[in-house]
């Protein structure tokens, strides 16, 4: 077995978290390497980031499939070919279905821009601003069939400065995400590899 766990990142948009994960994996101490990007939006910026980093990509359009089961079966095939052992969702704006959950039990994690269980689902930053809270944050959690409902692994809070708009708060949260997510993935992948050895 290689001394790094092979991971896939799933993303739908800009991909700043994808880049922070890939950058971390270039350190010799990293317990994981990114071997595949899965993207469900053919126009997403993250695809270009993967190209620049030399990371293979599987891009698909969900509407070209009859069901979630059908496209997830194809994803599972791609993951197997690439030898993927662990999955990190990073701005993948789609619920994970049974096909993937059963194949990668306890091996799929997500990052969400709030202190879950507060503000799950879309536009977590907008929800926080609307509520007028003075702090929010980022959460890394295991993925289950619900919307941002799986067991929490790590959280970090950030204050919301007065008069902040959505872009300000998003930038503050993403700064935290870019540190927190790769570090948590590193710890989790280390544990998975230690478990495989014993
Ligand atoms: C991240 O802030 C992530 O927490 C959020 O999407 C953003 C993606 O940014 N995810 C969710 O809202 C999931 N419910 P990025 O494409 O620049 O990494």
Query: Which of 90, 152, 181, when mutated, tests ligand 1's pocket best, judged by the most ligand atoms within 8 Å of its CB?
Result: 90
Query: What DSSP assignment string belongs to 115-175?
Result: STTSS-SS-HHHHHHHHT-SEEEEEEEE--SSSS-SPEEEEEEEE--TT--HHHHHHHHHH
The pair of structure tokens assigned to 74 is: 């194809």
Strand order in the sheet with 86-89: 57-59, 32-39, 5-11, 86-89, 108-112, 135-142, 152-159
Instruction: Give the domain range for residue 48.
Output: 5-197
For 27-85, what is each residue's pLDDT tens digit? 989 999 999 999 999 999 999 999 999 999 999 999 999 999 999 999 999 999 999 99
What is the 75 CA–ligand 1 centroid distance (Å)? 21
In angstroms, the CA 150 to CA 9 distance is 18
Ligand 1 touching residue 114 (CB < 6 A): no
pLDDT, position 2 = 64
What is the 51 CA–ligand 1 centroid distance (Å)? 20
pLDDT, position 28 = 86
What is the 64 CA–ligand 1 centroid distance (Å)? 24
Nearest CA to ligand 1 atom 3: 91
pLDDT, position 1 = 46
In angstroms, the CA 36 to CA 10 distance is 9
Ligand 1 touching residue 182 (CB < 6 A): no
Q: Report the CATH number that the domain containing residue 111 is assigned in CATH.
A: 3.40.50.170
Residues in the chain where the model's pLDDT stays below 70:
1-2
Which backbone phi and psi does 69 adopt, to 5 degrees? Answer: -60, -40
Ligand 1 touching residue 19 (CB < 6 A): no
In angstroms, the CA 140 to CA 113 distance is 9
Our count of domains for the chain comes to 1
């Amino acid at each position: 077995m290689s001394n790094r766990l092979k991971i896939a990142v799933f993303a739908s948009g800009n991909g700043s978290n994808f880049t922070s994960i890939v950058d971390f994996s270039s350190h010799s101490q990293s317990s994981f390497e990114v071997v595949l990007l899965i993207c469900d939006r053919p126009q997403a910026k993250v695809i270009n980031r993967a190209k620049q980093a030399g990371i293979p990509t599987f891009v698909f359009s969900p509407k070209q499939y009859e069901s979630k089961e059908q496209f997830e079966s194809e994803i599972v095939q791609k993951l197997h070919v690439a030898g993927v052992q662990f999955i990190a969702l990073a701005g993948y704006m789609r619920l994970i279905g049974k096909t993937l959950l059963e194949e990668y039990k306890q091996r799929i994690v997500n990052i969400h821009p709030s202190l879950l269980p507060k503000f799950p689902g879309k536009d977590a930053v907008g929800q926080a601003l609307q509520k007028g809270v003075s702090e929010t944050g980022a959460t890394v959690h295991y993925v289950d069939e619900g919307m941002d409902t799986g067991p929490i692994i790590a959280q970090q809070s950030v204050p919301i400065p007065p008069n902040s708009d959505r872009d300000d708060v998003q930038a503050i949260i993403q700064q935290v995400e870019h540190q927190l997510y790769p570090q948590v993935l590193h710890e989790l992948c280390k544990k998975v590899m230690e478990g495989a050895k014993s």
